[in-house]
Amino acid sequence: MIELVNIKKSFGDKVILPEVSAVMETGKVNLIIGSSGSGKTVMMKCMVGLMEADSGKVLYEGKDFTGMQERDRKEIRREIGMLFQGSALFDSMTVEQNVMFPLNMFGDGTLREKKKRVMECLERVQLKDAAKKFPAEISGGMKKRVGIARAIVLNPKYLFCDEPNSGLDPQTSLLIDKLIKELTQEFNITTVINTHDMNTVMESGDHIVYMYRGRKQWEGSNKDIIFSKDEKLNDFIFASDFLREAKEIRQMEIFQQTDWRDKLKKD
Amino acid sequence: MYWKEFMLQCVDIGVGSLGIVLIISIFMGGVTTLQISYQLVSPIIPKATIAQVVRDTIILEFAPTLTCIVLAGVVGSKIASELGNMRVSEQIDALEIMGINTKGYLIGPKILSALIMIPCLIAIAGFLGIWGGLEAGSLAGILSPEEFMQGLRQEFKAYNIFFALFKSFVFAFIIASVPSYYGYNVQGGALEIGKASTTAVVVTCVLILFMDYILAALLLN
């Protein structure tokens, strides 16, 4: 579990995060959503230590990451896997070398064991055949999957994904979402995704934090979002007529399910 | 991994720049011989003096300074653009997330390999420059190889070799560290990488020339 306690961040006079608190739950896909400039990326960078918050705390299983010495931080960082928006693969290395890189840096074991682990991860993302290719030779979707393989190769406890669907076609995007969701559940990872993608929100969002102008505007699950009366959230999620119609249809479908009908009656 | 990165940088900086160093040093020596012979026209000056002047000019100035100015362009722009690209494409962030000391991993091996490989390149440039001078003098009929060899041995000071190598260490540090600084701290996109690369080369060249003057003033007087 990752907790953010009163995180504040400014750049000069411009306040990006006035004061944010949130909890990222273990074994769930936690989404941070919001329009451009709402502070999602800054919030994620503060969580992983790529940016220092002006005040507040980031707690990993209760341990204060913000107040730690760099040496102690490294211990936690080794439990973090991160998928970057542009994949951030090392250009000079093959797919196999990219995935093996964290193992070479921190992993124990022989070269044979490392190669075996790399192949397991590449198989998991269905890219075993691309092992000898360079990043420039593979597609954007494949790069993202290599990024996921590299992020999970050390069996991380925390997985951060910065806009994993950006620039991908809908099918590949769904494939990436499915993969992240499966990995989260299979290995009980605390996954945090920063996204604009509405498919991800509706399909994977076990726990969603909606950011508006640097503040946490709304929090809930993908099921709650359908019935949310928060205007700002609805304007953001269901921005087009098509999506508003789709929301109504989905509301009706969920309403027909007994448990939800009962729950709503109770509410 | 650090060792592997160091070896890769040695190959990149050393072997990668060898071609251009070979070409410029041979022509540098040849042109120096021709120009000195053009100026030393007095019949009372022995022809071997041309070789002596060529030797000292190449060892003291042309091999270390001219070669390093060229290397500032070749190696410096490569280092700045490589690190800038890594910064912009979040590869440096990816390394930091893994808990790797990015300055130590990315910049350290570059500086260390430059400190080892650039003095070697300067030594090669010195030999080839003198050889180029010998060949040019012989081809142009200015002085024979024997006269040239005789001139090379006249009033030879081993201290000049030390001075050239000392300069090459200082220049090597500048060539690796200044572009690393500009590349590592790039913010923005492709345009900023280009700007950082150009600024890095300009600053490196100016610093090399400035340090050239300082070292000459300190060590030759």
Q: What is the pLDDT of residues B146-179, one digit of tens each?
A: 999 999 999 899 999 999 999 999 999 999 999 9
User: B39 lies in which domain range?
Assistant: 18-219
Residue B208 lies in a domain: yes
Name the DSSP letter for residue A94: -
Q: Does the residue B76 lie in any domain? A: yes
Domain membership flag for residue B177: yes
What is the percent of chain A where pLDDT is above 70?
A: 96
Residue B200 lies in a domain: yes
B2, part of any domain = no
User: What is the reported pTM?
Assistant: 0.84
Residue B76 CB: number of other CB atoms within 10 A? 30
Residues of A in contact with B90 (CB under 8 A): 84-86, 88
For residue B86, give how far its alpha carbon lies from the nearest alpha carbon of chain A (Å): 8
Supply the pLDDT for residue A29: 92
Top residue of B90, B95, B105, B187 to mutate, by most chain A CBs within 10 Å, is B90
On chain B, the residues whose CB falls within 8 A of the CB of A91 are: 85, 89, 91
pLDDT score recorded for residue B182: 96
Distance of alpha carbon A137 from its chain centroid, rounded? 26
pLDDT exceeds cutoff 60 at A267: no
- Total of domains in chain B: 1
Question: Which residue from A164, A230, A233 is spatially nearest to A199, judged by alpha carbons?
Answer: A164
The residue among B5, B52, B28 whose CA lies nearest residue B124 is B28
Q: Let me know how many helices (H) and strands (E) chain A has, helices first.
A: 11, 10
Query: How many beta-carbon pairs under 8 angstroms link A with B?
Result: 44
Question: Per-residue pLDDT tens for A216-241?
Answer: 888 888 888 887 888 888 888 887 77
Average pLDDT over residues B94-101: 89
CB contact under 8 A, A48 and B91: no
3-state SS, residue B155: coil
Instruction: List chain B residues with CB under 8 Å of A102.
Output: 98
Residues of chain B neighbouring A77 (CB-CB closer than 8 A) = 96-99
Report residue A141: phi and psi, to 5°: -65, -40
Residue in B with minimal Cα distance to A100: B1
- DSSP run (H or E) holding A215: strand A215-220
Residue B10 domain flag: no
pLDDT exceeds 90 at position A200? no
pLDDT tens-digit series, residues A35-92? 888 888 899 999 998 899 999 999 999 999 988 888 888 888 888 999 998 889 999 8
- Residue B117, domain member (yes or no): yes
Asked if B1's CB is within 8 angstroms of A105's CB, the reply is yes
